[in-house]
Amino acid sequence: MRFVRLFIVIVLFGCSSPLWPQINPQVENLLNVFYTLKYAYGNKDITLTENMYNSTYDGLCFEAHITFSLIDQSWETSNATGHRQVLRRVRQTLDELSQNAETIHKWETHTGKYDTINYAMFLKPGSKTTDYQNYMIYDGDKHWASGGLESVNMEYTAIHLEPVEMTHYSIEELNQPTRLARGTLTYKCVLDTLAKATRSFNATAYCEAIKNIVTQKGISMRKVHYKQDAGDTYGIHYIIRSQENALKILDELRQTTKGYIASHPYESFNMFNPRQNDYISTYPFLSGSTMTENGTQETFSVYAIFSKEYYHILVLYTDGVLDIPTDWEIIKEYDNGKATYYDKDIKFMNLTKKED
């Protein structure tokens, strides 16, 4: 049987209130715009990933990474119109932020067939005597803001089929056929410099915190075990068959997770997409290294998924590399190609036969 990367879809709940006051509100508004456009364009031309993590070096941090692209299309298409609007909104926000930035580098050039735009800025004062010193990295004409307490970086390139007339030129008004256009925006904010991770994630305590959520009426619970080569994964698979219950339960799971993180500031973890309840990604909702009873380390991960017409929560422990088999929704145990299924669910789960 083949293995596939886990495809995760969580139902759209809409944008939450600001997660932490440290996140710049103008940046948060821009992220919300990208989040809306991501689904308006069917996730094809815009990607948005957000995560919160706690590390031994940085402490508690929030990061967002966005890409928006246009390939082998004309600026006259609706897709190109949206791309141009995205670029305009990004530049407007960055120009506004640059007015109060501690350090700002902005560079752009438009020569014939090529457009290049680069922003790099620090929004909060860094320090020359702490771990959060500002470093402006130079790579030819491009710059990158690294370190510091809050930074924004943006790079944009476009290649046109024909040279562009530069007289009275404005990139927002560009209407020449384009072969390639791609932009990236990266935002990082250190939320708490004192909450540096000094211990592993306590999976036992976290599972106790969410126990009342995952044991509610209407949730089925099953043990799962996946083995592939040297990797060994085991845990609990929760199934929620009611959409109404799922919306409530998944929201409770997210809020409880945020609460656990806030009350355990020194545990190392990574929480994917902390502001939104909807994403398509191979990332787990929550992950971290945890200690077993015999003192060894394992990877702990939680997935919140909509798949094959049901909602699922996977709570997994992994020794080695995590691989989740195809048709995991109905698999009880998997051992190097041999799967044991929950037979009674095959007809309900819309199982698609796949070639080995």
Which pLDDT score is estimated for 15? 34
Which pLDDT score is estimated for 78? 58
User: Is residue 327 included in any domain, yes or no?
Assistant: yes
Strands 331-335 and 103-111: unpaired
Domain's final residue, options 192, 212, 231: 192
User: Is residue 265 included in any domain, yes or no?
Assistant: yes
Tell me if 218 sits within 8 A of 252, measured CB to CB: no
CA–CA gap between residue 111 and residue 165 (Å, rounded): 9
User: Is residue 207 included in any domain, yes or no?
Assistant: yes
Tell me if 256 sits within 8 A of 213, measured CB to CB: yes
Tell me if 48 sits within 8 A of 35, measured CB to CB: yes
183 with 232, same domain: the answer is no
228 with 307, same domain: the answer is yes
In three state form, how does the secondary structure of the chain look?
CCECCCCEECCCCCCCCCCCCCCCHHHHHHHHHHHHHHHHCCCCCEEEEEEEEEECCCEEEEEEEEEEEEEEECCCCHHHHHHHHHHHHHHHHHHHHHCCCCEEEEEEEEECCEEEEEEEEECCCCCCCCCCCEEEEEECCEEEEEECCEEEEEEEEEEECCCCCCCCCCHHHCCCCEEEEEEEEEEEEEEECCCCCCECCCHHHHHHHCHHHHCCCCEEEEEEEEEECCEEEEEEEEEECCHHHHHHHHHHHHHHHHHHHHHCCCECEEEECCCCCCCEECCCCEEEEEECCCCCEEEEEEEEEEECCEEEEEEEEEECCCCCECCHHHEEEEECCEEEECHHHCCCCCCCCCCC
87 with 207, same domain: the answer is no
Q: Which residue has the tokens 């077993």?
A: 292
260 with 309, same domain: the answer is yes
93 with 152, same domain: the answer is yes
CA–CA gap between residue 41 and residue 58 (Å, rounded): 35
Tell me if 250 sits within 8 A of 8, measured CB to CB: no
User: Is residue 8 included in any domain, yes or no?
Assistant: no
Which pLDDT score is estimated for 177? 55
- Residues 6+ positions from 314 with CB-CB distance below 8 Å: 224, 235, 236, 237, 238, 301, 302, 303, 305, 324, 328
186 with 255, same domain: the answer is no
User: Is residue 305 included in any domain, yes or no?
Assistant: yes
Number of domains in the chain: 2
Which pLDDT score is estimated for 343? 67
User: Is residue 227 included in any domain, yes or no?
Assistant: yes
219 with 314, same domain: the answer is yes
Q: Is the dihedral of CA 340, 345, 349, 351 positive or negative?
A: positive
181 with 207, same domain: the answer is no
- Residues 6+ positions from 203 with CB-CB distance below 8 Å: 288, 290, 300, 317
Ranges of residues in the chain with a pLDDT under 70 are: 1-20, 41-43, 72-80, 128-129, 161-179, 277-282, 343-356
Dihedral of CA atoms 285, 289, 293, 296 in degrees, nearest 10, equals 150
186 with 274, same domain: the answer is no
CB half-sphere exposure, 55, CA atoms < 13 A: 10
Tell me if 315 sits within 8 A of 236, measured CB to CB: yes
154 with 250, same domain: the answer is no
99 with 133, same domain: the answer is yes
pTM of the predicted model over 0.85: no
Domain's final residue, options 192, 224, 256: 192
132 with 223, same domain: the answer is no
Phi, psi at residue 172, to the nearest 5°?
A: -70, -20
Closest CA to 39 of 49, 30, 47, 50: 47
Q: State which residues form the domain around 334.
A: 203-345
Domain's final residue, options 192, 225, 252: 192
CA–CA gap between residue 84 and residue 104 (Å, rounded): 24
Phi, psi at residue 155, to the nearest 5°?
A: -130, 140
Tell me if 234 sits within 8 A of 317, measured CB to CB: yes
